[in-house]
Structure 1
Amino acid sequence: MSRVLRAAVAAAAAVLLTAGLGAAPAGATPPNIPSYSTALSRLNALTVAAESHASTYNRDLFPHWITITGSCNTREQVLKRDGTNVVVDSSCAPTSGSWYSPYDGATWYAAADIDIDHMVPLAEAWASGAWAWTTAKRQTYANDLGGPELWAVTDNVNQSKGDKDPAEWQPPRSAFRCTYARAWIQVKYYYALTVDSAEKSALNSMLATC
């Protein structure tokens, strides 16, 4: 089935599933997203500094999609956590289920259409302080299931985001921007990463939508 046809089927199914509800489908979300007031306080506690060491970034310095339990790696754990009625095979690869992407409001029925996004991208983390970490700490960051760092989202939306911060990219679904900002701030705060001035301004604007 072509990607275009899959998208059409997914969109039609999503309409049927949500008709009359007026809200996004229920589903798991990453843990420990702070409230508006906590996020605002934590944003103001972050160190404001220009990014550095960006030219030395290498994705391999963040070992990711490690085995978490049994045969399941980090990606597969997020797909199970955030999906609905997810069935996996003996290798932990999803064979069926559905996934709602909060970034754009799309629902998908094939795991191949889902990327696992690092809320604060690896390159952004690197330039905000992770360049000074050990490889072990960067591995912990890249596979962090304990905070709002990993999100199951539409693949091409994640690809459009790339390594951009909120001054450069925000979710196309405007209703999610409050949550996105709160999650972004939590990750930066927890890992003591810096923010640049344009990024902080954008986050303040996003929090104003809460």
Structure 2
Amino acid sequence: MRVRALMAGLATMAVLTGCGGLEAQLTSPETSKPDSASVSDARKKLAKLAVKGRAPRTGFDRDEFGPAWADVDRNGCDTRNDILKRDLTNEKFKSGTHDCIVLSGTLKDPYSGKTIDFKRGQDTSMDVQIDHLIPLSDAWQKGAQRWSETKRKEFANDPLNLMAVDGPLNNQKSDSDAATWLPPRKSYRCTYIARQVDVKAKYELWVTSAEKDAMETILSDC
């Protein structure tokens, strides 16, 4: 029943916000490897993205994108738990939360390829973090500061732009774009870049020339 509720909630959000297909949102990034058609589509979308310099970071604040991990799809679970539930396996949930709060599970980290045992706790929760493929600060400097508060909240909680990943690598990435950071696991870079392009195209964010060059280089080798 919770899975059906999640799918129904995401379907509603897709209608309201123009989100991509549910398959892209509900499929774990680890298992959604791009085929030649997806790579070709990413190249076409990348070619259409506007190329500009970074706008000033002035005015950026996490709060500009709404409260962290809001329940935007109204399924009763916050976005962080939705993504943990989507991307982890062997999950165990806190009793009484209708299979919402993830207490533990296993992540096959897409960025490194290693297996991480997740356990909720003060000293362990951050071993697995939820990464914004397009960081909020990067989005802010490439178009998002012009958006409405509602659109920024949607962006921050869009499953298409979110993945459960290794915490230290997420910290290493910080607010970098493709020109300055790529996953160390080279076999995942095609998927990573294709997904970033999907997000940028969906939200009409621009790219810098260095970022576009980096993306084109990765896609040319896919």
Interval of TM-score (by shorter of Structure 1 and Structure 2): 0.7 to 0.9
SS in structure 1 of the partner of residue 58 of structure 2: helix
2:128–2:166 CA contact under 8 A, matched in 1: yes
1:177–1:209 CA contact under 8 A, matched in 2: no
C-alpha distance in structure 2 between counterparts of 1:133 and 1:189, whole Å: 15
Letter of the structure 1 residue corresponding to residue 84 of structure 2: L
- Give the equivalent residue in structure 2 for 1:59: 62
Alignment of 1:37-48 (within 5 A): 37-48=40-51
- Give the equivalent residue in structure 1 for 2:105: 97
* Alignment RMSD: 1.9
1:117–1:158 CA contact under 8 A, matched in 2: yes
Q: Which runs of 4+ in 1 moved over 6 A?
A: 30-34
Aligned-residue sequence identity (percent) comes to: 38
C-alpha distance in structure 1 between counterparts of 2:29 and 2:173, whole Å: 19
- Give the equivalent residue in structure 1 for 2:115: 107
1:96–1:109 CA contact under 8 A, matched in 2: yes
Alignment of 1:57-206 (within 5 A): 57-63=60-66, 64-67=68-71, 68-89=73-94, 90-91=96-97, 92-111=100-119, 112=125, 113-145=127-159, 147=160, 149-206=161-218
- CA-to-aligned-CA distance 1:39-73 (integer Å, 9 cap, x gap): 00000000000110312211110113002445410
- CA-to-aligned-CA distance 1:63-109 (integer Å, 9 cap, x gap): 13002445410000000011112121134321222111101112111
The count of aligned residue pairs is 182
Letter of the structure 1 residue corresponding to residue 175 of structure 2: D
Q: TM-score, normalised by structure 1?
A: 0.81
2:39 aligned with 1:36: yes
C-alpha distance in structure 2 between counterparts of 1:108 and 1:77, whole Å: 18
Letter of the structure 2 residue corresponding to residue 95 of structure 1: L
SS in structure 1 of the partner of residue 81 of structure 2: helix
Letter of the structure 2 residue corresponding to residue 153 of structure 1: V
Letter of the structure 2 residue corresponding to residue 42 of structure 1: K
Question: Per the alignment, do residues 65 and 188 of structure 1 end up closer, same or farther by CA in structure 2, a change over 3 Å counting?
Answer: same
Q: TM-score, normalised by structure 2?
A: 0.77
- CA-to-aligned-CA distance 1:92-149 (integer Å, 9 cap, x gap): 321222111101112111142110000000000000100000111000000012x2x1
1:53–1:131 CA contact under 8 A, matched in 2: no
C-alpha distance in structure 2 between counterparts of 1:169 and 1:190, whole Å: 22
Letter of the structure 1 residue corresponding to residue 168 of structure 2: N
Question: Per the alignment, do residues 139 and 32 of structure 1 end up closer, same or farther by CA in structure 2, a change over 3 Å counting?
Answer: farther
2:89–2:107 CA contact under 8 A, matched in 1: yes
C-alpha distance in structure 2 between counterparts of 1:69 and 1:51, whole Å: 34
C-alpha distance in structure 2 between counterparts of 1:32 and 1:180, whole Å: 9
Structure 1: 5+ residue runs without aligned partners? 1-26
